[in-house]
């Protein structure tokens, strides 16, 4: 079956509206002969003369009158489908956004992000999914709208990314801990009992690599999978946690943080998304909102 030329819908709409080949030609900025040829093709395609002579003008056939009720809405729908997306109406937005992040990120930035969504788009909802690895498959499959974290070598090359903030690691203890006061040296830091935050696939940590270069090794008393758990344990016992300062932000309240006496590089926390969401207005708004929330909510906290 031959696919009809859908451009003929535009010609048919103009002919039915104008009832004249000449006027329809002017409307579409075509020559009268080009419009006549288009009418001939329409007649061949539909198997109906569509417009016939009636005195000096043209009158529509019954088939043309029936098509008049269909062509206008059909053409408007086609032009809307092929045109730019409609302006985003946040007040009418009904959508659930899924964010994949660590527990520390969700607890630190989640409340402010939720407040912004409630104020600007009351019908929008958030769903946080715990990030246990760096696998980017959930973004590819559309199971996740946005992901936050440090970009690793396993991230898909097609993914889009935007930096949210730079961060540095700090040591964290409860106020009664011996390291809460005075100078913290590499030796006194290594001598304490530590909490290791590690994912399943993670090898030697940045802190342990830095200690190894100094000929030191720390005592790992417990291993956890997230920063929130590390801070909860440091709050409850004489343990040392190492966490990114801005990433955990307000979760450090009531604890004492100090600069690491080691050469541990800073990290960049970014958001990642799949390119199919680039031009989606609601997704663009979510990305901009998350960036603004991070800018406002994570000022660098001074370590003592």
SS3 sequence of the chain: CCCCCCCHHHHHHHHHHHCCHHHHHHHCCCCHHHHHHHHHHHHHHHCCCCEEEECCEEEECHHHHHHHHHHHHHHHHHHHHHCCCCCCCHHHCCEEEEEEECHHHHHHHHHHHHHHHHHHCCCEEEEEEECCCCCCHHHHHCCCCEEEECCCCCCCCCCEEEEEEEECEEEEECCCCHHHCCCCCHHHHHHCEEEEECCCCCCCCHHHHHHHHCCCCCEEEEEECCHHHHHHHHHHCCCEEEEEHHHHHHHHCCCEEEECCCCCCCEEEEEEECHHHCCCHHHHHHHHHHHHHHHHHCCCCCCC
pLDDT digits (tens, 9 = 90+) for 43-93: 988 889 988 888 777 888 889 888 888 888 888 887 777 777 778 999 999
pLDDT digits (tens, 9 = 90+) for 245-300: 998 988 999 999 999 999 999 999 999 999 999 989 999 999 999 999 999 875 55
Which domains, from first to last, does the chain contain? 8-82 (1.10.10.10), 90-167+268-297 (3.40.190.10), 169-265 (3.40.190.10)
């Amino acid at each position: 079956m031959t696919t009809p030329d859908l451009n003929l819908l535009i010609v048919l709409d103009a002919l039915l509206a104008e009832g004249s080949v000449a006027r329809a030609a002017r409307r579409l900025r075509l020559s009268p002969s080009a419009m006549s040829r288009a009418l001939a093709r329409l007649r061949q395609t539909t198997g109906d003369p569509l417009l016939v002579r009636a005195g000096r003008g043209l009158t529509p056939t019954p088939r043309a009158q029936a098509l008049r009720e269909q062509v206008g809405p059909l053409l408007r729908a086609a032009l809307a489908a092929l045109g730019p997306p409609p302006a985003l109406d946040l007040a009418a937005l009904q959508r659930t956004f899924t964010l994949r992040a660590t527990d520390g990120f969700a607890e630190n930035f989640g409340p402010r992000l939720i407040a912004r969504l409630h104020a600007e788009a009351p019908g929008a909802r958030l769903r946080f999914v715990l990030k246990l690895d760096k696998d980017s498959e959930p973004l590819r499959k559309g199971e996740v709208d946005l992901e936050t974290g440090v970009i690793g070598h396993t991230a898909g090359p097609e993914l889009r990314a935007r930096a949210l903030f730079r961060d540095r690691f700090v040591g964290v203890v409860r106020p009664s801990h011996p390291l809460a006061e005075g100078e913290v040296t590499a030796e006194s830091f290594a001598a304490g009992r530590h909490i290791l935050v590690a994912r399943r696939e993670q090898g030697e940590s940045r802190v342990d690599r830095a200690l190894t270069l100094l000929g030191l090794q720390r005592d790992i008393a417990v291993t956890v999978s997230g920063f929130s758990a590390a801070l909860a344990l440091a709050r409850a016992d004489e343990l040392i946690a190492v966490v990114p300062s801005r990433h955990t932000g307000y979760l450090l309240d009531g604890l004492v943080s100090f600069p690491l006496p080691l050469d541990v590089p800073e990290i960049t926390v970014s958001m990642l998304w799949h390119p199919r969401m680039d031009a989606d207005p609601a997704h663009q708004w979510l990305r901009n909102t998350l960036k603004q929330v991070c800018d406002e909510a994570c000022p660098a906290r001074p370590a003592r």
